[in-house]
Amino acid sequence: MSTYSSPTLHERRETRRRAVRRRRIAALLAFSAVVVVAVVGALQATGGEGSPPAPPPPAAESQAAPSATTAPAETEETAETAESAPPSAEVTIAAVGDIVMGSTPNLPPDGGASFFSDVDGELEGDVVLGNLEGTLSTGSSSKCGAGSSSCFAFQTPPSYARWLARAGFTVLSLANNHALDYGPRGQKETIAALRRRRLLFTGRPGQVTVQRVGPVRVALLGFAPYPWAQDLTDVAAARRLVREAVEKADLVVVTFHGGAEGSDRTHVPRGPETYLGENRGSLRRFAHAVVDAGADLVVGHGPHVLRGMEWYRERLIAYSMGNFAGYGVFSLSGVLGVSGILQVTLRMDGSWVRGELVPTQLVGQGLPALDPAERAHGLVRELSLEDFGGRGMRVSRTGVLRPPS
């Protein structure tokens, strides 16, 4: 008699990584074939004379660093690359919630080198997005007064950008309440540190960041209810910016930092949320509005807990991915220490291909690690059904995401 044992979390992770690698190789070969055909066609058209077409642009581009008080210039990209992309082209997007890699002088003992070791290889995607809480800076003046016990400001050395790049991130959102913890100078240092590691950023007022994935252009927009970010509470402006992004890219991903905070804030209420006297946004209204305007994926964070996922007009809205990492700065009790990595594959037209929730947790002083208990699956499954009913995303026992039928 034979017996069957369910694969472990790590076995499933390795199977998924192999599948991702195969898809990437296939996409690269397909894109290379398109480029060869284009070059041959150009040579035939010129009788084999003249200069060959310019090589494709680098995989990712971002805006020039603006001042903290002005809207940044937007990336201008040519349409020729996108026109050669087949309609069936697929892009895999991975997204996580809040990231704080410690705050000086409370930093990891090895300088951050092993910060992401327990999730090594899990941040797989063509686009890998996270919310960078705090700054990558030194010096400057903290927003908190001396001796304050109710104000929090996060400052991590600029060199820590290398660990974000090594972990697999391609773009970080600066739309959150800690992005200006050390003023305009601290944010300028943060942007410079990200650029040195070829990491993109988004979330400034008016900012549309475009990452190229082979022939596909992916626009990323960040929102938060603060003057140094694109305003989450101005829904009309959010719609306009998304429509602008639709004209510049094939896929549009919106990320936002909003909602009340705490272990009792796992549900998405109807109407606006407030915290410490701040208007933290009417998240259902905002998310529906940006999808109506053309967003293909919406990913939230801010409450420090996982929230449910909604299937709205054939697009996924993940209302909060919780705390992904927070060295010595977050409470880790109960649901505050449960997190996940969202993995979504979309076609170039925004249509759904597949999705998965990789369960993670915060361990030790707040390092990200795989969660063998897979608590994120049950939590998000229940919250999705309770908050959104028939529009709630289905989450299987192993974390596979399926749109409601």
Which domains does the chain possess?
80-402 (3.60.21.10)
Segment 260-311, tens digit of pLDDT: 999 999 999 999 999 999 999 999 999 999 999 999 999 999 999 999 999 9
Whole-prediction pTM: 0.84
Task: Give the per-residue pLDDT at 330.
Answer: 87
How far apart CA 242 and CA 227 sit, in angstroms, is 18
Alpha helices (runs of H) in 249-362, residue ranges in sequence order: 283-293
Q: What phi-psi label fits residue 313: left (phi over 0), alpha (psi between -120 and 50 degrees) or beta? A: left
Bridge-based pairing of strands 90-100 and 127-132 is: parallel
Task: Give the per-residue pLDDT at 318.
Answer: 98
How far apart CA 339 and CA 158 sit, in angstroms, is 25
Nearest to 360 by CA among 392, 326, 394: 326
For 48, the token pair is 């084999």
Residue 139 contacts residue 174 (beta carbons within 8 Å): no
Answer with the residue of higher pLDDT: 24 or 91. Answer: 91
Segment 159-170, tens digit of pLDDT: 999 999 999 999
Give the pLDDT band (50/70/90) at residue 386.
very high
Segment 89-138, tens digit of pLDDT: 999 999 999 999 999 999 998 999 999 999 988 999 999 999 999 999 99
Nearest to 358 by CA among 315, 388, 319, 401: 401
The contacts of residue 166 (CB under 8 Å, 6+ apart) are: 116
- Dihedral over Cα of 230, 236, 237, 238: its sign: positive
What SS3 class is residue 301? Answer: strand
Nearest to 316 by CA among 256, 402, 251, 231: 402
The contacts of residue 147 (CB under 8 Å, 6+ apart) are: none
